[in-house]
Amino acid sequence: MVRASVPVWKFSPHYYHLSTSALEAALRKVAAYREWRQFDPGPNHHIDARYAAMPAFTKKDIRQNFPDGLLPACKDVEQGLATGEIELVETSGTTDDKVTNFWNQKWWDASERASWKLNSYTHEIATGDHREAILVNPRNVGFVSDIIDLPMEKRRLARFLYLNEKTNPLSWSSTHMDRMIDELNTFQPMVLEANPSYLARLCRYVAAHNKEVFQPGIIVFTYEYPTNFHYRQIRLVFSAPITSSYGTTETGYVFMQCENGNFHQNTQFCRVDFQPFKPEHGGPLLGRILVTPLDNPWCYLVRFATGDIVHLQESGECACGRHSGVILSSIAGRKVNLTLTCSGRLVTLLELDNTIGVLEGIDMYKLIQPDARTYELHLVSQRPDKERLSEDVLGVLRRLYGQEANIAVIFDTDIAPESSGKYLVSRTIFPVDLDDYLDKDISLKND
Ligand SMILES: [Zn+2]
């Protein structure tokens, strides 16, 4: 049997230079990586092989080493804070997920600007002083005000307008959504950045009430995985081009979707290592990424496990002509979104979403897997024929998870986001250890 292999990507000499500096600085100077020195095959080996020999760095590692263990001794945190070069930011999330990071605004802005080049529309529109409206949970960015409505001028910051100050989108009234529509019409943003679930919620309202909405130059999805239903609901209202931007507080902007739908690596600002799953779990084109931020004087993270599950573009190329770095055909969700079939095969959010996405008339859904063969699907739908919908859902889910799957379909009137402000579409209640699914046998070309 001929085994499929991962594509070969092209990288600039500068990328390899920055990759080498990042790894060597961490191993030599940063306490958190002291134990990693034993894994380094040494400078006579290709840098990709040196990275491949290293473990992954996790949020738990950040928590255990913050602050001094994450920086070289020569870096003075107090001084960095005093001069305003850095701030401390806490990522939103559950207790397990929460970490404090050093935040270097200058590097972050530069990473964002570089990511804009990876899509023709953002490359043209995003000049750095363009008007941008943002529709997200204010817990992630913006101004929180749950009781009092903030007037527009209180939700402006530089070139940004934050359309929503409420932490719970279930509290959005028609007045609140009319205000968003009016403000889009008045502010006329070039870019509309949005959590897809939040924009889809607004679009369901706009479509149901036949409202007119201003069309921005481009819509950029952030923070959440956009489902097929989100796309459909948003497309009923917006004809503007749509792209997805992927990154984390720790790593800056990592992937941007180009105008042809593939995702390109932001090679100037991060190194990406790909670890494929075993073939029976979708490898070698499906796997996880480990990200090393490049050239950030306040970040020495190496092989940070962002939690993103990705699907490689098999050809290693894209018709848009951008050829530097890793190219993905899709982001397949996050580790937390993985579920398992009754026979134990990994199911990504992408696969689940494409399965449920064939159905019509679903506003939102959430799939929870309490144990190996039990699944709870929560559905929000305006369809009157709930029994028919229920049967259809059971049919497609049994084909995916197994005929023996024990599936409960629960109709809800609405689904709230998690405390992080982001919507959860799928997860297991039991732990899934990715190490059990990664293909350790696949070796890098440059070994
Ligand atoms: Zn492309």
pLDDT digits (tens, 9 = 90+) for 75-126: 888 999 999 999 998 876 555 677 888 899 999 999 999 999 999 999 999 9
Distance 318 CA to ligand 1 centre (A): 5
- The percent of residues above 90 in pLDDT, for the chain, comes to 88
Chain CA centroid to CA 312, Å: 15
Give the pLDDT score at 445: 44
Residue 349's Cβ-side half-sphere holds a number of Cα atoms within 13 Å equal to: 27
**Contact present, 432 and 335 (Cβ < 8 Å):** yes
Give the pLDDT score at 48: 96
Taking only the tens place, the pLDDT of each residue in 152-211 is: 999 999 999 999 999 999 999 999 999 999 999 999 999 999 999 999 999 999 999 999
Distance 291 CA to ligand 1 centre (A): 20
Q: Which helix (H) or strand (E) holds 87?
A: strand 87-90
Give the pLDDT score at 420: 87
Distance 317 CA to ligand 1 centre (A): 8
Distance 226 CA to ligand 1 centre (A): 19
User: Alpha carbon of 232 to those of 238, 305, 359: distances in Å?
Assistant: 10, 31, 12
Quickly list H helices, 255-362. 349-356
Distance 157 CA to ligand 1 centre (A): 32
β-pair partners for 248: 252
β-pair partners for 103: 87
Distance 234 CA to ligand 1 centre (A): 23
**Contact present, 262 and 329 (Cβ < 8 Å):** yes
Distance 255 CA to ligand 1 centre (A): 11
Q: Which helix (H) or strand (E) holds 352?
A: helix 349-356
Q: What number is the average pLDDT over the span 286-311?
A: 96
Taking only the tens place, the pLDDT of each residue in 240-259 is: 999 999 999 899 999 999 99
Distance 118 CA to ligand 1 centre (A): 7
**Contact present, 217 and 191 (Cβ < 8 Å):** yes
**Contact present, 266 and 118 (Cβ < 8 Å):** yes
Distance 262 CA to ligand 1 centre (A): 5
Distance 125 CA to ligand 1 centre (A): 17
Distance 246 CA to ligand 1 centre (A): 15
Distance 218 CA to ligand 1 centre (A): 16
Distance 265 CA to ligand 1 centre (A): 10
Distance 257 CA to ligand 1 centre (A): 7
Residues with a beta carbon under 5 angstroms from ion ligand 1: 258, 260, 262, 318, 320
The dihedrals phi and psi of 217, each to the nearest 5 degrees, come to -65, -35
Distance 209 CA to ligand 1 centre (A): 36
Distance 110 CA to ligand 1 centre (A): 21
pTM of the entire structure? 0.95
Distance 202 CA to ligand 1 centre (A): 29
